Chain A
Amino acid sequence: MSSPQSQMPQAAPTWQAAPGTSFPSGYTSPIPVVRTHLGNAIASEWTKIKSVRSTMWTLGVFVLLVIGIGTLTGVVVAESDPALDGESPLGLGFFGLLLGSMCIITLGVLTTASEYGTGMIRTTMVACPSRGRVLAAKGVVFFLVAFVVTLVSACLVAFLHVAMLEGDGAKSPTGGEWLKGTVGIAAYVALLGLLSLAVGSIIRHSAGAITIMIGAVLAPLVIALFMFSESLQGVRDALFEYSIPNQLSVFYSNSLSQSGPSGWDPLWIMLGATAVAFAAAFALLEKRDV
């Protein structure tokens, strides 16, 4: 509040000539009006996911882990003397996919949570105010990408193992085993990623959501390890059997235990968990301010 020396009004003559009371009839754009739908949001999310380097990194490392570890296991097993005692060679893909699933989890979380870190989420929601549509589009695009990449990697490793160990006493896998070891495992890993995507949307923080998801994969096994007490036997077995690594192994019919989930059970369990997480993510997305 100093002396009145800044003579502002002198510098403001231009707009005074504009009409003050009668308003022009507004602007009409030559761009056609479109009733947008989920397809528009999916196209948008597809552009987003393929135009950032983190997608290439996470998927690149995933393929590297699955193929690399798969090849190494194949070589080691082929060298050892009584190679596979009548076992299906497909089971060897387990190790690569277990580690690789961390990449899928990361990409799933980043698909939603990273937008909160950058502020992009507000740009996204302004462009598409139907928040459910945004989440659905993200889910569809991510699931397809994750499923295709996992399927291709799992198939490659499966063919590799079968070829390497053919004459080594391994039994040749049945059609059902092929289906579970490729399509089944790819669907399971992609769903695990989709669960991470929903968790990312709920937590809205990349590092936090990734930590939670990796904890969900590892914690049950670690906790079970420390349950020595006889009275906790039941809990320990359940933690073992329903842990994500053990569910993964069910697809290769080499579960760590005899009871617990079998056949295609893990897929339905993961589908249920993902559905619940998505319901929560949808509800919170509608309720919260962006």
Chain B
Amino acid sequence: MSRSSVAGMIELEGLTKRYGEKVAVNNLSFTVRPGIVTGFLGPNGAGKSTTMRMILGLDHPTAGDVRIDGKHYHQLKDPLTYIGALLEAKAWHGGRSAYNHLLCLAQSNGIPRRRVGEVLETVGLTAVAKKKTKGFSMGMGQRLGIAAALLGDPRILMFDEPVNGLDPEGIHWIRTLMKSLAAQGRTVFVSSHLMSEMALTAEHLVVIGQGRLLADTSMADFIARNSRSYVRVRSPHRERLLDVLHQAGVVAVESGEGVLEVDGGKAEHVGELAAQHGLTLHELSPQQASLEEAFMRLTAESVEYHAHSGTSAAPPPPQQQQWGDGWKRG
């Protein structure tokens, strides 16, 4: 089977969205492939939700193109069997029961009625199927949203910030679900503003900042390239240790307070060298810069709302984005 005939591709080409002066999404091109979880990462306001809305045909792109299996979204006759999406939390009428909410979606796509019961079972909402969704907790709401996404048993699943506001058990459930969906050969495209969350689920990474593509890489590559590993050494014989390391061809740098950082070195090697020369060590610890830091470095210039640490600058307006705000443009 050739690559082009593989079902479940989302292809973006020069996708751009402008709201007046402001460019929300800027010339975005990448492809989301089946069989893996693709993380869509970016700080708040980076344009993740806008991009997802354009994929789903809700927003018209100012320029560029996005296709699902080679088709525009509006060309899909029964879209729920192609692509299931979890949009904002609780995007439904609170007075309607979970069952009826899913039923009206199933009917619009000619999906058999029995699927409603099946997906309710899958997400564990069978017991409250006839209850009004108004009383649902955040976690139950997310589960209902995921039930709607799974309704058509689609090849592509798209989740916008699925773990926001969930308890640890709910987060674990969603992670496991996403991985198992990808393992079945489906395309899973999930957005997040947390690198740590992506590191646990995503195999491929698309990073955007201020609407621009910053990285489109495998997670393994991203980690290899961005997480610097080093050995942290503290010793009362700092100068002598530096000499010893230098002679052995190991590069070490001082980082203040008597601490040495040995880039790319092995702790065992440093320890053995010190022992051979009878040098006391107070600390010898392998370190790895967090992915979160790598992500922050990558997106530093493109973060829209910085929290200033200095006292000189006035605090920025409280632009903290709530879950789903991106979807609820007035």
Contact = CB atoms under 8 A, between A and B. Distances in A.
**Bound together:** yes
Contacts of B218: 20
Given A9-B199, A15-B37, A34 B109 contact: yes
A34 B57 CA distance: 20
Interface stretch (B162-170, B237-245, B270-278, B291-299): B291-299
Interface string B98-109: 001001110111
B95 interface: yes
Contact of B199 (A4, A11, A47, A290): A11
Contacts of A53: 95
A210 B77 CA distance: 34
Contacts of B100: 47-48, 51
Given A40-B108, A40-B110, A120-B92, A4 B79 contact: no
Interface stretch (A122-130, A157-165, A268-276): A122-130
B107 A7 contact: no
Interface in A243-290: 289-290
B184 A27 contact: yes
Given A8-B292, A26-B8, A125 B58 contact: yes
Interface in A172-216: none
B200 A114 contact: no
B80 interface: yes
A29 interface: yes
B59 A15 contact: no
B128 interface: no
Interface in B144-184: 148, 152-155, 179, 182-184
| Max chain B C-beta neighbours (<10 A), residue from A10, A27, A33 | A27
Given A47-B100, A127-B79, A114 B93 contact: yes
A12 interface: yes
Nearest to B203: A15
Interface string A33-70: 11110001101110110011110000000000000000
B103 A125 contact: no
Interface in B205-236: 218-220, 223, 227
B185 interface: yes
Interface string B189-213: 0000001100111110000000000
Given A19-B35, A40-B110, A51-B104, A34 B77 contact: yes
Contact of B104 (A4, A7, A8, A48): A48
Contacts of A166: none
B328 interface: yes
A31 interface: yes
A40 B109 contact: yes
Given A8-B290, A122-B58, A24 B107 contact: no
A51 B187 CA distance: 33
A106 to B, nearest CB: 15
A231 interface: no
B127 interface: no
B108 A127 contact: yes
B125 interface: no
Given A29-B155, A44-B104, A127-B109, A12 B91 contact: no
Q: Which 6 A-B pairs have the closest CB atoms?
A: A34-B110, A44-B108, A119-B91, A51-B100, A24-B35, A29-B153
15 contacts: A8-B195, A15-B203, A18-B182, A23-B3, A24-B35, A26-B8, A26-B34, A40-B109, A48-B96, A51-B104, A122-B87, A123-B87, A126-B79, A126-B87, A290-B53
Given A4-B287, A6-B292, A29-B153, 10 more contacts: A1-B296, A8-B196, A31-B152, A35-B77, A36-B77, A40-B109, A52-B96, A123-B87, A126-B85, A129-B74
